[in-house]
Structure 1
Amino acid sequence: MKWPKRSIALPVAGLLIVGMACVMVLSTVLTLGVFLSTNVKTKQRMNADVVGKLLQSGRAYDSNGRLVLEQKGIPATIMGFANAEPSFWYLVSDGSQTVSHGTIPSSVDQIIKAAPSEIFASEFYYTAGEERFLALRLVDDSDPRVVIALGGISFSNFQTIFATLWAVWPQGLYHLLGLVLVTTVTIAAIAIRHTIATPVRRVVDAAAQIDGLPNGRRIPDADTPAELRPMVAAFNTALTRIDAAFEAQRNFLASASHELRTPLTKLRIKLDLVKDPQVREPLIRDATRLASIVTTSLQLARLSGQSFAFTSVDLTAIARSVITEHVPRAIKQGLEIELRAPKAKVAISGSEAAIRVALDNLIANSLRHAPSADIIVVEVLEAHQLKVIDHGPGIPTSEREAVLRPFVRGASAEAEGTGMGLAIVAQVIHAHGGSVVLGETPGGGLTVLLTFPHGG
């Protein structure tokens, strides 16, 4: 399983592993502590068994052949606990040599000697002073001559737990607990990951559907976990603030453009009264360009962030209607506008008014920037596409992406352009979920391809 960078589930799984391990260790220690404090006989028997095993495993012979006991590491620590007790004693004999520690009570010595060698393990109690102790006698099953006896062990609860936990290690208990721990944590980690990922994925999917339009979609919080609700609320609040700022900007631009149209119209009329043509013509061109800027700014303000009402529209009918409006200007410039369209209806789901604005700007751009051409072609394709083909100067490849933004004009564009025609086209097509591609016309010029999603 591959974990993503900065995963939430990974540290949670890590904490779970540490937490479960601590709980297992503490529960084991507490269980043993409670058990040993309430059952003295079991405590003595466990201690005797551990020390007996240490004496069996530590039996060795030195270089001179003498019987010795060798203990290292934890076994030496446990034997240190035992040797520190005044009542502790042991005896290790191989039949010819004996190693002993402490004082063996006479009553116990008699029992050890009287016990038959056929009994490999026996235990009995004896009294020393006012205390009652457990004694243990062991015979090595591989060599009956080896006899081990011990007694007088009086470990504290801590020492008993320490010795017991070490003694059960070779028996595989810890391995089993570790396997259970790893299995449980692995399952829990996967569950935690999916538990975290599922609500986060719902939030991400809801955010991906936000269309960026004013008063558009918001992230629902009905099924959102309490931990994610502050984030969702903050995100929705930010969207509301962006909407408010965008709407204020849009209203300002629309109001300013609208208010400028009337004085510009009056100015245009008054400029016709200027008698000197050398003064009148440049002023009329400037006023016309200013009026064009105002008009396109108003169009852009109306289209920006607007949620269009989509209906089934026919691209051929829209193209024919828009071309008709531009025919008088084309004739005046000595141009021909040709419509190429299939006989069948090319229906899409869209806003007729918005598509008309986009196509109107494309044809106006072609008329403005290709005045010396002979023909402008508007082609409707069955694949829900519109093409506007001219034979003007075209747009260099390096500038084609930039000119789709407002107020950006190509380096070869004439001064009369506003730099917003193609931006309006891009805005309309983006709202329809389509695409705009600027290409080169064979023989020179610009070909603009508008692609709309299927449906109608």
Structure 2
Amino acid sequence: MTKRYPYSLRKRLFWRLLAVQSVVLILVVIVLISVGQMFDYRSTEGTIEILRRAVFRQPTGELSLRETEDLRQLRKDAPDLWYTIRDTQGHVLTEGRIPDEYASIGSALDHVGQARLGWNLGDQDRPAAARMKWIAMDWGQAQFLTGTDGPNSITFILFGVSLTLAKFVVPIVAVMALGALIATPMVVRRSLVGINQAALQADTIDVDQRGGRLSANDIPEEVAPLMRAVNRALGRLDEGYERQERFLTDAAHELRTPIAILNTRIGSLPHSAVKTDLLEDAARLAVLTEQMLDLQRLKQGKVQFTNINLGQLARKVIIEMAPLAFAAGYTVQFEVDGAGEIEGDPLALQRALMNILQNAINHGGRKGIISLTSGCNWIEVSDEGPGIPADLQERIFEPFFKRHHDGRGAGLGLNLVRDIMRMHRGEVTFDNRGLGAICRLSFPSGGTADDKTVSHLARAMD
């Protein structure tokens, strides 16, 4: 399939309009030359051209005609041939019966370069039409006067057309080109104002800006079907996205019960390595389910800010996550004596801290100490694992990014943590410190997240 590259509408309109105008103008000129009075002009011009080629000056100064083939053919085709040839020295060469109207013209037209002589519409007495023209010869200026039509050969037709094109059509085409060059960009720019506005609107449409449609104001009629088709496509995408969200929410709710039953049954098993692996897998399922529900809750703006004691929040999370850490082979260290209070959403911050601990359990090397400490407006989680490579420290917050392709996790945890911290006008940072990695959740001192910030996060997570 041949690749088609974008083209300039302005250039295409300019050249096509100019081509059409030029062709129409040339056709009109050809038609005018072929009929009416311009036909007479062409024929008489042919007679003068034959005479010009045949006339010469004798050594005595007299004017004479060579018996050229064209001249012989002209006398044969036009038995009524008449002409008068004069030079500036007064020499005259004539042939045929010169009409009385032109016999006495003499030097009356010496100061006229060329003229068509004849009659006007409405005249009762109509004299024969004639043509006078001064032509520069090698031996001087000569005046030709004749009223006999020459042969209608293609040569003279082309000569007349070429002469008219050179004198009239080319200048007119040049003027039209200049006008089209100026007018076409203006017309195109004004005609595409609506399309440019629709393009700006299209740039704002994203997965977090559903419901957007392209405006049909000031849209050319030819483009309107495309705009309507795009809007219908956007509507179908919105409907599909909403169905997908409803499905994920319903699926997450439905998974809670079987996961709880699974945890209960696994807990009743005797202690073994298999039980440990099953507990970890069930915990990941539970975390993933809660992440899906948290995403939907935050997208819908269902957050409620209250006073939160960071120490109590950390204690609640460590109690819930400690069994999983012990089962994976870690020792847990807990220090929150310096914890302060902030304002935030308890459920969201609890989920963020659980995701950080889950990340430490998954990537801490399954040995050493996992520490959870808290200060006035921060909480830190550290491990003694291999740490985070420098080239991955920024990418770990990308949605669906996983450090290892072992199938564990969906890559949503740290992305969710970052969004929750943005909602609280805080930040989450990772660093390598000695053995392992350390993650800090930092909150603004004495700051709260306003409704505008929460609303913006809900849209950003959509």
Q: Which moved more, 1:260-269 or 1:364-373?
A: 364-373
User: Separation in 2 of the partners of 1:269 and 1:225?
Assistant: 66
Aligned to 1:292: 284
Task: Give the conservation status (yes or no) of the 8 Å contact 1:261–1:294.
Answer: yes
Q: Indicate whether 1:364 and 2:358 are aligned.
A: yes
Task: Give the conservation status (yes or no) of the 8 Å contact 1:391–1:441.
Answer: no
Aligned to 1:395: 388
Aligned to 1:19: 20
Aligned to 1:422: 413
Aligned to 1:238: 233
Question: Unmatched 5+ residue regions in structure 2?
Answer: 120-124, 444-448, 454-462
Name the amino acid aligned to 2:20: G
Q: Indicate whether 1:334 and 2:328 are aligned.
A: no
Q: Indicate whether 1:150 and 2:146 are aligned.
A: yes
2:261 aligned to which of 258, 261, 266: 266
Name the amino acid aligned to 1:283: K
User: Separation in 2 of the partners of 1:192 and 1:147?
Assistant: 52
User: Separation in 1 of the partners of 2:339 and 2:84?
Assistant: 112
Q: Which moved more, 1:298-307 or 1:250-259?
A: 298-307
User: Separation in 2 of the partners of 1:353 and 1:63?
Assistant: 120
Q: CA deviation at 1:186?
A: 0.9
Task: Give the conservation status (yes or no) of the 8 Å contact 1:219–1:236.
Answer: yes
Report Cα offsets for 1:181-233 as digits up to 9, x if no partner: 11211123212431354222222211111131485323233554433332233
Name the amino acid aligned to 1:334: V
User: Separation in 2 of the partners of 1:351 and 1:375?
Assistant: 23
User: Separation in 2 of the partners of 1:92 and 1:422?
Assistant: 106
- SS of the equivalent of 1:277 reads coil
Cα RMSD, aligned residues only:
5.8
User: Separation in 2 of the partners of 1:82 and 1:379?
Assistant: 121
TM-score by length of 1: 0.64
Name the amino acid aligned to 2:360: S
Mapping for residues 94-133 of structure 1, pairs under 5 Å = 104-105=96-97, 112=103, 115-117=105-107, 119-120=109-110, 132-133=127-128
Q: Indicate whether 1:187 and 2:188 are aligned.
A: no
The alpha-carbon distance between structure 1 residues 311 and 251, as it changes in their structure 2 partners (threshold 3 A), is closer
Q: CA deviation at 1:260?
A: 3.0
Report Cα offsets for 1:372-411 as digits up to 9, x if no partner: 2464578999xxx999776532334566648844384526
- SS of the equivalent of 1:335 reads strand
- SS of the equivalent of 2:202 reads helix
- SS of the equivalent of 1:243 reads helix
Report Cα offsets for 1:25-60 as digits up to 9, x if no partner: 355566x479x74xx6x875x558845874797577
Task: Give the conservation status (yes or no) of the 8 Å contact 1:378–1:387.
Answer: yes
Task: Give the conservation status (yes or no) of the 8 Å contact 1:214–1:243.
Answer: no
Report Cα offsets for 1:224-262 as digits up to 9, x if no partner: 443333223322332333333334343334333333322
Q: Indicate whether 1:135 and 2:126 are aligned.
A: no
Task: Give the conservation status (yes or no) of the 8 Å contact 2:10–2:188.
Answer: yes
Q: CA deviation at 1:286?
A: 0.8
Aligned to 1:7: 8
Name the amino acid aligned to 2:288: T
Name the amino acid aligned to 1:243: D
Name the amino acid aligned to 1:209: T
Q: CA deviation at 1:299?
A: 2.1
Task: Give the conservation status (yes or no) of the 8 Å contact 1:373–1:392.
Answer: no
Task: Give the conservation status (yes or no) of the 8 Å contact 2:310–2:339.
Answer: no
Task: Give the conservation status (yes or no) of the 8 Å contact 2:311–2:336.
Answer: no
Q: CA deviation at 1:296?
A: 1.4
The alpha-carbon distance between structure 1 residues 218 and 392, as it changes in their structure 2 partners (threshold 3 A), is farther
Task: Give the conservation status (yes or no) of the 8 Å contact 1:362–1:388.
Answer: yes
Report Cα offsets for 1:264-297 as digits up to 9, x if no partner: 32333344444x433xx63254145224324313
Name the amino acid aligned to 2:172: L
User: Separation in 1 of the partners of 2:172 and 2:116?
Assistant: 31
Name the amino acid aligned to 1:202: Q
User: Separation in 2 of the partners of 1:123 and 1:424?
Assistant: 91
User: Separation in 2 of the partners of 1:260 and 1:89?
Assistant: 113
Q: Work out the number of aligned pairs and report it.
A: 416
- SS of the equivalent of 2:16 reads helix
Aligned to 2:203: 208
Name the amino acid aligned to 1:134: A
Q: Indicate whether 1:220 and 2:215 are aligned.
A: yes
Report Cα offsets for 1:385-438 as digits up to 9, x if no partner: 999776532334566648844384526x8x9x5344436427847997x99998
The alpha-carbon distance between structure 1 residues 115 and 360, as it changes in their structure 2 partners (threshold 3 A), is same
Task: Give the conservation status (yes or no) of the 8 Å contact 2:80–2:97.
Answer: no
Q: CA deviation at 1:138?
A: 5.3
The alpha-carbon distance between structure 1 residues 181 and 106, as it changes in their structure 2 partners (threshold 3 A), is closer
User: Separation in 1 of the partners of 2:265 and 2:375?
Assistant: 41
User: Separation in 2 of the partners of 1:15 and 1:352?
Assistant: 68
Q: Indicate whether 1:199 and 2:199 are aligned.
A: no
2:295 aligned to which of 303, 314, 318: 303
Task: Give the conservation status (yes or no) of the 8 Å contact 2:291–2:412.
Answer: no
Name the amino acid aligned to 1:255: D
Name the amino acid aligned to 1:362: I
Question: Unmatched 5+ residue regions in structure 1?
Answer: none
